[in-house]
Amino acid sequence: MDQKDFKIDTLSEFFTKKFQVTLTQREPINHDSYMFRFDFKNPKERLGMQAVQHIKIYGLNMKGEIVDRAYTHIFEDDGYFLIPIKIYRPNVHPQFPNGGELTPWLEKLDLHSELTIKRCVGKLFYHNNQFIVRPKLNKTWQQFDTVLLICGGSGITPAYQLIKTICDNPNDNTKMVLLYANKTEQDIWLLKELNELQTKHKDQFTVHFTLDKSDENWKGLKGFVTLEMITSIFPKLTETTLGVLCGPKPMNKLVISLYEQLGLKKDNIVKF
């Protein structure tokens, strides 16, 4: 399909229809996260979305009210897709005694239960080497030579989907530099996959990890994301540099301000 024929109809049934999937697997990844597998009723069906769109999962909070949250699948095949999900448990963080609204429900949901999901239009849309920034407002395709990505914790999933899609496209030479921040080494998701992508596409993709808490064996960056840190790892900006981000709210606020201090135009900064 030609780029000019490619339409994103955010109001189409594709994006607005809710449907049921079945939770078929929930394998632990680390101390607070699982890889969830969701199966369609039809064993041939796929989400079939372009990068970087996500889904909404609907569930219940502690009061029994319906809540929904955004998630990005990192793999799909005929009939199913996989999403890593971090659980915000109650009574873990003193500031959040109730934990998160949706994820404690997802942790307890019985295997083989059905749940409701919906496809969503994200803030960035990638197809064949080009992007549409904020597709709900704007339909102009843009080409970026470089994409800078700053992610925290579970915010890696949309970034990984984008990086993988670009690396898998032999016609796309977009350079990508990822800064991935986590609390500890155990919290890093997709470590092997990100390192493999960097090795396989070394002229195109570079990843840096930073940790809040690390021991003396840690060879990556240390501490919170700072202007000095990003200045030292990111290439010089051009008119066609895009800065994307996804992380916890306070981190997002900081990262947007750091991108601006680095010199990125507001229009070229996108939170997934």
- Residue 125 as a binder of ligand FAD (CB under 6 A): the answer is no
Distance CA 146, CA 235 (A): 9
Asked if residue 157 belongs to a known ligand binding site, the reply is: yes
Residue whose C-beta lies closest to ligand FAD: 100
Query: Has 238 been labeled as part of a binding site?
Result: no
Instruction: Say if residues 159 and 189 touch (Cβ distance below 8 Å).
Output: no
Residues 51-70 that bind ligand FAD (CB under 6 A): 54, 69-70
For 30, the enclosing helix (H) or strand (E) is strand 18-30
Pairing of strands 221-222, 205-211: parallel
Residue of 126, 208, 210, 246 with catalytic role: 246
241 binds ligand FAD (CB under 6 A): no
126 known ligand binder: no
Does 93 qualify as catalytic in the annotation?
Answer: no
CA distance 195 to 208: 10
Sheet with 146-152, edge to edge strand ranges? 221-222, 205-211, 175-182, 146-152, 241-246, 269-271
DSSP run (H or E) holding 59: strand 54-60
Is-catalytic flag, 80? no
DSSP three-state, residue 219? coil
* 86 in contact with ligand FAD (CB under 6 A): yes
Contact flag: residue 161 with ligand FAD (CB under 6 A): no
Q: Is 26 in the site for ligand FAD (CB under 6 A)?
A: no
Q: Judged by CB under 6 A, how many residues of this single chain contact ligand FAD? A: 26
Q: List 39's β-bridge partners, or say none.
A: 22, 80
List interacting residues with ligand FAD (CB under 6 A).
Answer: 54, 69-72, 83-86, 88-89, 92-93, 96, 99-103, 122, 154, 157-158, 246, 248, 272
Q: Which residues are catalytic?
A: 54, 71-72, 246
Q: Name the binding residues for FAD.
A: 69, 71, 86, 157
